[in-house]
Chain A
Amino acid sequence: MPRKRVAILVSLVILMLVLSQCGTPKPKAFECTDALGCVDIAPGAPIHLVYMMVVTGPDESLGLDTKYGVEIAIADKGKVLGHDVQLTGEDTGCNAEGGQTAATKVAADKTVVAIVGTNCSSEARPAAPIITQAGLTMVSPSNTAPDLTLPEKHQAGYLRTAHNDKIQGAAMAKFAWEKLQVKKAATIHDGSLYADQLQQVFAEEFKKLGGTITAQEAVDPKDTDMKPVLARIAATQPELIYYPIFIAAGGFITSQARQVPGLENVYLSSADGTFSPDFVKAAGEACLGMYHSSPDFGAFGAGYQDFLKKYETKYGRKVMAPFHAHAYDATNMIFAAIEKVAVQDADGTLHIPRGALRAALFATKDFKGLTGNLTCSPTGDCADPKIAVYQMMSADPATWNPGSSPDSNPKKIWP
C-alpha cells in the first residue's frame, strides 16, 4: 500500500519539522541595527553576488555579454575585504514574468549581498519593487527605459549604470534631423517597455525639432511576417524607420524592409537592443548601411582596451552587445560600496548592513569607471551617458568590431 507508507513517512517528517521549531537562534556578537537587516559572512565564506540577466534565448548575447563583464570585474578585483566573491544568477528571459520570478527567488535568499541586473527594462518593472521590499539593491547595467528612474515611479532599491533613454532617443532624433536631413520618420515598437518608451522619446524629440512622425506602429516580438506592417508604413512615405526593438523581430524587419515597394531607399535605424553580431546574422545583408544608436565606446576610459583584451582572452570571442563595460562598472560600484560600509567583528565575520549599502550606492560620486565618471542621482541614474550613432559597414558577423577607425564595423559616424 504505497499510499499509507508515504503518509507515515510524511507524518514523521512533519513531526520532525514541528518539533524543530523549538530551536533558538544563535546569539550574535555584532548587533545589527540596520533597518533592512545585515548579511553576515563567516570567515572564509564568499560574498554572494547575484546576476539577473537574459542568458538564454534570442537575446542571450545581451545577457551573456553583461555577465562576462561582471565576471571580469570579479576576477580583476580578487578578494573583497578578504572574502572571495561568489556569483550565481537567474535567467530572466527579457519579459515581465521572468523578471518577477527571478526577483522573487533572489529576494528569498538571505545570503545575497547585492544584485547586478536586470537586462531588459520590462524585467525591471516587476523586479525592482520585489527587490526593494526584500531590502536588497540592484544595479542594472542595461535598463534604459526612462520611467524606471522617474521620481514618482522610482523604487528605492534600484540603480543603473546604463544611460537613460531620454538621451538615446534624443540623440537619434537629432542625428536624423541634422545629419541625415530627414523630415518624416516612422517608428515601430514591439510592445516592450524599452522599445515603446524609446520610440516615444524619439518621436517627441523629432517633432520638437520640426519633423513629422508619419506612423507609429507595433508588432509582436514573436512576429515573423513584417511585410504588411511595412506596407502600412510605406503608404505614409517616411524617409526613416526607427525600430528600437530586439534581435529576432528587428532581424525580420530589416531583411523584409527592402522587399516592400516604397521602402527601397528608406533609412533604417535601430538602437542598442539590436547592437550585436547576432543581429547581423539574423538580418543578413539587408543590414548594410543601417544606423544604430549605442553607447559611445570611443568615449570610454583608458582601461577599456585592456578590458577588451581580457574579454577576448577569457571567452575566446569579441564583445557581443553594448553593455559589458556598464556591467563591469556596476560590479565595481558595488564592491566600493561594500568596502565602505562593511563591518568586521572580532571573530572575523563580516557584516554588511543592507540599508547602509544601499545608501552608499546612491552616494556614489565621481566613481571612475570604464564608461566614464559615475555619479548617482537620488532616483538611480548613475551613468555618464555619451551616445553615438554607428553605421553598419559589413554584413559579416565575424567582422564585428565597433569603433571609429576605418576598419570598424559598425563604424561611429556621429557626433
Chain B
Amino acid sequence: MLRRLLRRVTFTDIFMWLIGAALVAMVIYGTARTLIVGKYGPVEWLNMTISGLALGGIYALIALGYTLVYGILRMINFAHSEVFMSGPLTAYFVAEALDKHGLLDRSPVPSLLLIFLVSMAVSTGVAILLERIAYRPLRTAPRLVPLITSIGASFFLQYTFRGLFGSGVKGYPEPDWLKIKWCIRGTAMCITITQVLVIGCAVLMMAGLYFFVQWTKTGKSMRAVSEDKETAALMGIDVDRVIATTFAVGGALAGVAGVLYALLFRQVQFFMGFVPGIKAFTAAVLGGIGNIPGAMVGGLVLGIFESVGPNLFLDGLGIAAPYQLKDAIAFTMLVLILIFRPTGILGERLARKKA
C-alpha cells in the first residue's frame, strides 16, 4: 500500500509540500518571535483584529458579488469593483446635502438609511446595466471573452464616473455620533461605532443572503441555474431573469459595502474600487469560488490577515516596514491555502473539474 501511495505522489507534489512547509515554518517562527518579544500587548492585538474584522466584512460583502456571478455564469466580473465604487460616490452628494441641512446630525438613522438606499440603488442599477449590455450577448462565448469585456467595462465605468463627478477625492461628512466609542472600562480596548456598524451590517447582510439563497423561491432558482443552466430552463425557470437578479443582489451588497467603506475611511473617489475589488476577488477564491459561505469566510480571513499579519509574522522575521508587504502576505497565504486545499477553504473537493 505504501508503494501505491508513493507512486501517486509526484516530484512536483513533493516540491510543493516543501514550499508549503517552508512558508508555514517561517510563519510560525515569525509569530513565535513576535509574541516572545511582546512588542504588542493584548490590547493592540485585539484592536488590530477588530480593525481587520471590519475591513474583512467589507471584503466579504464585495466578494459575495464576485462569487454569486461566478457561480451562475462561470465568469470573473472585473467590473464589480466599479459597481462597488458607483454607490458611495453617488451617495456622497446625498450625504453632503443631508449634512448641510443638519439632518445627518439630528436624525442619524433615517439619514443613514437614505444614504444606504441611494447607494444600493445606484450600484444595483449599474450591475443590471452591465449584465444587460455587456454580458448577456456573450453568454455562449469562450471564457476569456467576457473576462476582457468586464475589464473594458471596468475601465469605462471608472473613467465615466471620473468625468461625471471629477477626479478629486471627496470626503464623507463626519457627524458627531460617528465618533462614539465603546471601551472596556479601564483599558484602551475600544471599538468605535463605525466598526460596530460595519461588522454588524456585514453579518446581517450575509445572513440575509444566506436565507435568501437557501429558503426563498428566487434563491432556489439561483442555485438551480448555477447548477445547470439548461436543465433549469427546461424546468421552467426564466434564466435571464434569474441571472439579472443575481447581478442585482451582488450589486446591492456592493452598494452596502461601499457606504460602509465610506463610513470607515471617509474618502471616496473614482479609483477606490480597484484595490478592494482585487482583494475581494482574492477573498472569494480563498474561500472557494462559487461558494457563498466561502466568500464570507474568505473575506473575514483576508481582512484579519492583512491587519494582523505583517505585525504578527514579518515583524518577528525582522523585516523593515512590513506594511508595505501586506498584500504580499495576503497573496502568499492564498497560494499556501491553494497548495493544501486547491479549491479554497470551503470549496468542495470535487473530481478535477475543467474550469
A contacting B, Cβ–Cβ less than 8 Å: yes
Residues in A lying within 8 Å of B, measured CB to CB: 56-58, 60-61, 191, 216-220, 222-225, 227-229, 231-232, 234-235, 247-248, 251-252, 255-256, 259-262, 278, 281-285
- Interface range, B side: 35 or more
Complex-state Cα separation, A218 to B68, whole angstroms: 36
Closest CB of chain B to A392's CB: distance in Å?
Answer: 15
Residues of A within 8 A of B322 (CB): 232
B308 in the interface (beta carbon within 8 A): yes
Residues of A within 8 A of B267 (CB): 224, 248, 251-252, 282
Complex-state Cα separation, A233 to B340, whole angstroms: 35
- Report whether B171 and A235 are in contact in the complex, using a CB–CB cutoff of 8 Å: no
- Report whether A228 and B311 are in contact in the complex, using a CB–CB cutoff of 8 Å: yes
Contact of B43 among A57, A60, A261 (CB under 8 A): A261
B167 in the interface (beta carbon within 8 A): yes
Residues of A within 8 A of B170 (CB): 281
Residues of B within 8 A of A217 (CB): 321, 323
Closest CB of chain B to A177's CB: distance in Å?
Answer: 24
Complex-state Cα separation, A247 to B326, whole angstroms: 21
Main secondary structure of the interface of A (DSSP, over half): helix
- Report whether B167 and A56 are in contact in the complex, using a CB–CB cutoff of 8 Å: yes
Q: A231-B40, A235-B39, A235-B44 are in contact. Are A225 and B51 (CB under 8 A)?
A: yes
Closest CB of chain A to B105's CB: distance in Å?
Answer: 13
Contact of A261 among B39, B188, B266, B321 (CB under 8 A): B188
Residues of B within 8 A of A278 (CB): 168-169
Complex-state Cα separation, A371 to B168, whole angstroms: 28
Query: Can you list, as one digit per residue, whether each of B302-318 has a CB less than 8 Å from chain A (1) or not (0)?
Result: 00001110110001000
Closest CB of chain B to A110's CB: distance in Å?
Answer: 32
Complex-state Cα separation, A61 to B168, whole angstroms: 9
- Report whether B47 and A261 are in contact in the complex, using a CB–CB cutoff of 8 Å: yes
Q: A231-B47, A252-B267 are in contact. Are A60 and B188 (CB under 8 A)?
A: no
Contact of B169 among A58, A231, A235 (CB under 8 A): A58
- Report whether A60 and B324 are in contact in the complex, using a CB–CB cutoff of 8 Å: no
- Report whether B324 and A191 are in contact in the complex, using a CB–CB cutoff of 8 Å: yes
Cβ-closest chain B residue relative to A260: B47
Residues of B within 8 A of A218 (CB): 321, 323-324
Cβ-closest chain B residue relative to A56: B167
Closest CB of chain A to B293's CB: distance in Å?
Answer: 24
Residues of A within 8 A of B240 (CB): none
Complex-state Cα separation, A281 to B48, whole angstroms: 27
Q: A58-B168, A219-B323, A255-B266 are in contact. Are A285 and B174 (CB under 8 A)?
A: yes
- Report whether B308 and A228 are in contact in the complex, using a CB–CB cutoff of 8 Å: yes
B1 in the interface (beta carbon within 8 A): no
Contact of B40 among A235, A259, A285 (CB under 8 A): A235
B190 in the interface (beta carbon within 8 A): yes
Complex-state Cα separation, A76 to B263, whole angstroms: 46
Q: A235-B44, A282-B267 are in contact. Are A227 and B307 (CB under 8 A)?
A: yes
B269 in the interface (beta carbon within 8 A): yes
Within 168-198 of B, Cβ neighbours of A (below 8 Å) are at: 168-171, 174, 188-190, 192
Cβ-closest chain B residue relative to A61: B168
Residues of B within 8 A of A262 (CB): 188
- Report whether A57 and B167 are in contact in the complex, using a CB–CB cutoff of 8 Å: yes
Complex-state Cα separation, A260 to B51, whole angstroms: 10
**What are some 17 contacts across the A-B interface (CB < 8 A)?**
A61-B168, A218-B323, A220-B324, A225-B55, A225-B307, A228-B310, A231-B51, A231-B311, A232-B315, A251-B266, A252-B265, A252-B266, A252-B267, A261-B189, A261-B190, A282-B266, A284-B174
- Report whether B171 and A282 are in contact in the complex, using a CB–CB cutoff of 8 Å: yes
Q: A228-B323, A234-B44 are in contact. Are A58 and B269 (CB under 8 A)?
A: yes
Q: A225-B55, A227-B307, A261-B47 are in contact. Are A247 and B40 (CB under 8 A)?
A: no
Cβ-closest chain A residue relative to B315: A232
- Report whether B169 and A281 are in contact in the complex, using a CB–CB cutoff of 8 Å: yes
Complex-state Cα separation, A261 to B190, whole angstroms: 8
Closest CB of chain B to A165's CB: distance in Å?
Answer: 20
Cβ-closest chain A residue relative to B181: A259
